[in-house]
Copies of this chain bind each other. A is one copy, B any other.
Amino acid sequence: MEQRISIRDVAAHAGVSPSTVSRVLNGQDADHMRPETKERILASIKELDYTPVRAAQRLRRRKTQALGVLIPDISNLYFSLLTRGVESVAFAEGYSTLVCDSNHEADRESAYLDFLLSEGVDGIVFVPVGRPDLDLVQRLTDRGVRVIVADRRVDGLTTIDADNFGGSRDLTTYLLDLGYREMAYIAGPEEVSTAEDRLAGFRSAMKTAGRAPAAVVWGQFTFQSGYDHASAILGRRSVDAVIAANDLMAIGAIRAAEDRGLSVPDDLGVAGFDHVPWAALVRPQLTTVEVPAYAIGQEAGRRLLDGSEDSLRLPTTLIPGGTCARRRRTK
Number of copies of this chain in the oligomer?
A: 2
B residues less than 8 Å from A251 (CB atoms): 281
Kindly specify which of A9-17, A112-120, A235-243, A311-319 makes contact with the partner chain.
Answer: A112-120
Kindly specify which of A31-39, A94-102, A163-171, A173-181 makes contact with the partner chain.
Answer: A94-102
* Bound CA span A290–B143, Å: 46
Q: Is the CB of B143 within 8 A of A119?
A: no
Q: Is the CB of A81 within 8 A of B75?
A: yes
Of B2, B56, B59, B97, which is within 8 A of A99 by CB? Answer: B97
User: Looking at A52, A62, A139, which has the most chain B CB atoms within 10 Å of its CB?
Assistant: A62
Of B120, B282, B283, which is within 8 A of A54 by CB? Answer: B120
Q: Is the CB of B2 within 8 A of A62?
A: yes
User: Looking at A114, A280, A283, which has the most chain B CB atoms within 10 Å of its CB?
Assistant: A283
Whether A223 sits at the interface, judged by CB under 8 Å, is yes
Question: Which A277-292 residues have C-beta < 8 A from chain B?
Answer: 278, 280-283
- Find the B residue at minimum CB distance from A51: B118
Q: Is the CB of B101 within 8 A of A1?
A: no
B residues less than 8 Å from A115 (CB atoms): 96
* Bound CA span A251–B58, Å: 49
Q: Is the CB of A114 within 8 A of B84?
A: no
Q: Is the CB of A59 within 8 A of B59?
A: yes
A21 to chain B, nearest CB (A): 15
Question: Which A132-150 residues have C-beta < 8 A from chain B?
Answer: 139, 143-145
Q: Is the CB of A120 within 8 A of B84?
A: no
Of B4, B83, B98, B281, which is within 8 A of A96 by CB? Answer: B98
Whether A47 sits at the interface, judged by CB under 8 Å, is no
Whether A74 sits at the interface, judged by CB under 8 Å, is yes
B residues less than 8 Å from A55 (CB atoms): 55-56, 58-59, 64, 120
Question: Which A61-118 residues have C-beta < 8 A from chain B?
Answer: 62-64, 74-75, 77, 80-81, 83-84, 87, 96-99, 101, 114-115, 117-118
User: Looking at A58, A83, A99, A115, which has the most chain B CB atoms within 10 Å of its CB?
Assistant: A99
Whether A306 sits at the interface, judged by CB under 8 Å, is no
A263 to chain B, nearest CB (A): 15
Q: Is the CB of B53 within 8 A of A59?
A: yes
User: Could you name 28 residue pairs across A and B whose Cβ atoms are closer than 8 Å?
Assistant: A1-B63, A1-B64, A1-B120, A2-B62, A2-B144, A3-B120, A4-B143, A51-B114, A52-B118, A53-B59, A53-B120, A54-B118, A55-B55, A55-B59, A55-B64, A56-B59, A74-B80, A75-B77, A75-B81, A77-B77, A96-B115, A97-B98, A98-B98, A99-B99, A248-B281, A251-B281, A278-B278, A281-B282
Q: Shortest 4 CB-CB distances between A and B: which pairs?
A: A2-B144, A1-B120, A55-B58, A75-B80
Known: A51-B117, A77-B77. 7 other contacts (CB 8 A): A1-B58, A2-B144, A3-B120, A52-B118, A96-B119, A255-B281, A281-B282
